[in-house]
Chain A
């Protein structure tokens, strides 16, 4: 009997080992093929004059890196990216929190409907949405000017072009924050709220003293993932302004896209990508450290 159990155990452990090895190997292979090798290839390529369409791959040392570091448009785009990301993240968090709190309230009916309504822009393809917004921004026939009674050339006036891109981005993305915050709120301990209510705390106090502190990990999660995502924004720029007027709405990722896929200057684009990658990595590390310290 003991022998039979032992043999069954060893069989189970053998099959488990095979399964474990297969799963782990698949994951390693996946990350290797789709992440680490491309990252290494891009880093190696950044030291080359690289146009894959021409089969060109000529070593040029640090030239791409020197050019990037001395390129005023790159730093201007980085500044734009920073401002764009801060505004978009702030708007996403604030609107998301407000609407999630509203939906969390017992007074609101048809929650599922509103949740679906808010989330719909998030799941629509960005290119399609951007083309619709492009029409809305038309100075003559656009819906936005007609609603506001204004005559703004949204996409060609340097004062408004970035705002136009931000409006689209915020509208498209706030639903994601609503759903995540709402999920976070539902997982909060209800007894805290009940105790606060008995103690006479009003809704505002409950939000700022209980909901917000308890939701801090969710807020940090949204802030970090949003920053990473907004640092890589290029589709709305490509569809709405192509970086214009002039270079007013150039974002770092659009500049990289332009160098890689319009000018096929992959080496130069790789050097820019790596600088952006380092900045995102540093920001993420700082955010995680801050979050960890907060947690303690």
Chain B
């Protein structure tokens, strides 16, 4: 009996040892990710010490520090130096630094500067099929069968509304407008004037930066922003209708005023206006700068109740770039960091939440925390109905800005202002290598 007990005990101990050994083995070879996978047990640079620089622009230090901390916890032999630059400086210094051999091995990318950096990027060493399996929108980033960066999130415009003003006007969730006509009625109800007719609270404001709103709303009428030969199209019926409606909201409905604040985003946070059409990043900005302003979001209204060609345009928040001029061992580390970042959902989630963007990673599309952000949640049902025109050169927004200011502030007529802006913009785009990716949109065939 004693022998039996001893034997049983020995067997249990042996089994326990075996199991714990297996456990340890399993822990060492932990694989992160679904299609794009990252093996944390695989050493980088043969385990030898290596240092790389990682450049990013001001405003996201905690996010990038998180990537560095998590990566270096797995690979203590890698020293990553984060280098921060203000936005404007970043886009001057980075391309110049990338021309030499001492530039950063890895850096943050924004697609609006695509033309200035694409020549210095090394393609991802992750197969395109794997990227497409895990992320949406990859096809728009394929150049000659290779991907140099893609999107981790999609940012677009949503309507923000001040909840206190909404309630004070006797409005409920049921009053959330679906069409522009309904929106105009709601805006009227949210507008407050004093006894002299002076605006005290605007129902809606687009002052300062309306070009970001207008360049996207023409899609609701089935109108693409670029022609087949990559020329910009401003002077068309769709954009005229969009601008005329904006004018009518102020001049006919009296729901706003060109001189009631010069920055509608700030003015919304300051409690001057009730509704504001803003991009995803404004969600975080409102929370940090004006925490006392309680706000909600709803999807951008449409001309009719029918699903439009596209609700608006989106712009991708880009994944990192690898410097093709960096030494080979540094490039290998950069590629490894990118694989780690793309494979790890928790990091993707941090970046998505910090920028209030819809996740490009399919595994996060229904994440409860992400959908808890109102400006993201409203997009969930129609995210496929948002279009990306491609990495537009700044000339497009700059010239639309001039046209809109001429119309709204200088009294120019819509047709003349748009015609001038279109001509100037196309002249400025002549030397550009920009190619519109509108034809790659899922519903491209529905365009007029």
Contacts and interface: CB of A to CB of B under 8 A. Distances in A.
Given A54-B115, A261-B92, A153 B402 contact: no
A92 interface: no
Residue of A54, A67, A244, A246 contacting most chain B CB atoms (<10 Å): A246
A140 B261 contact: yes
B30 interface: no
A213 B292 CA distance: 64
A233 interface: no
B96 A139 contact: no
Interface residues of B, number: 32
Contacts of A246: 402-403, 405-406, 409-410, 412, 417
Interface stretch (A27-35, A262-270, A278-286): A262-270
A157 B91 CA distance: 32
Contact of B96 (A52, A156, A248, A263): A52
B23 interface: no
B398 A138 contact: no
B76 interface: no
A53 B402 contact: no
A53 B258 contact: no
Contacts of A55: 99, 119
B394 interface: yes
B431 A265 contact: yes
Contact of A53 (B116, B262, B403, B412): B116
B371 to A, nearest CB: 36
Given A54-B95, A138-B262, A139-B259, A245 B116 contact: no
Interface in B25-45: none
Contacts of B92: 53, 261
A247 interface: yes
Contacts of B427: 67
Interface string B408-448: 11101000010000001001100100000000000000000
B272 interface: yes
A262 B119 CA distance: 19
B395 A263 contact: yes
A54 B99 CA distance: 9
A137 to B, nearest CB: 9
Interface in B246-294: 258-262, 272
A61 to B, nearest CB: 14
Interface string A50-67: 011111000000000001
Nearest to A262: B394
Given A51-B116, A53-B92, A245 B261 contact: no
A93 B60 CA distance: 48
Decide if the interface of chain A is mainly helix, strand, loop or mixed.
loop
B262 A153 contact: yes
Contacts of B403: 246
A49 interface: yes
B262 A244 contact: no
Contacts of A184: none
Contacts of A53: 91-92, 95-96, 116
Interface footprint category on A:
20 to 34
Contacts of A219: none
B349 interface: no
A217 interface: no
A245 to B, nearest CB: 4
Contacts of A52: 96
A216 interface: no
B401 interface: yes
Contacts of A14: none
A135 B258 CA distance: 17
A75 B427 CA distance: 17
Contacts of B431: 49, 265
A138 to B, nearest CB: 7
A121 interface: no
A220 B165 CA distance: 61
Interface in B95-151: 95-96, 99, 115-116, 119
A289 interface: no
A243 B410 CA distance: 13
A155 B208 CA distance: 11
Contact of B409 (A51, A73, A158): A158
B38 to A, nearest CB: 33
Interface in A19-53: 49, 51-53
A49 B116 CA distance: 14
Contacts of A243: 402
Nearest to A55: B99
B265 to A, nearest CB: 15
Given A140-B261, A263-B395, A245 B410 contact: yes
A48 to B, nearest CB: 11
Contacts of B258: 153, 156
A139 B262 contact: yes
Nearest to B433: A54
Contacts of B119: 54-55
B116 A158 contact: no
Residue of B402, B408, B428 contacting most chain A CB atoms (<10 Å): B402
A135 B182 CA distance: 35
Contacts of A138: 262
B70 to A, nearest CB: 32
Contacts of B398: 258, 262-263
Interface string B68-85: 000000000000000000
Given A156-B409, A158-B410, A244-B405, A264 B260 contact: no
Given A139-B261, A156-B259, A248 B115 contact: no
Contacts of B261: 139-140
A151 interface: yes
A265 B427 CA distance: 12
Nearest to A247: B402
Contacts of B417: 246
Given A49-B431, A258-B398, 7 more contacts: A73-B424, A139-B261, A151-B259, A158-B410, A245-B405, A245-B408, A246-B403
Interface of B: 91-92, 95-96, 99, 115-116, 119, 258-262, 272, 393-395, 398, 401-403, 405-406, 408-410, 412, 417, 424, 427-428, 431
Interface of A: 49, 51-55, 67, 73, 138-140, 151, 153, 155-158, 242-248, 258, 261-265
6 contacts: A51-B116, A53-B95, A140-B261, A156-B258, A156-B409, A158-B409
Closest 10 CB pairs of A and B: A53-B95, A245-B409, A246-B406, A153-B259, A245-B405, A53-B116, A246-B405, A244-B405, A246-B410, A158-B410
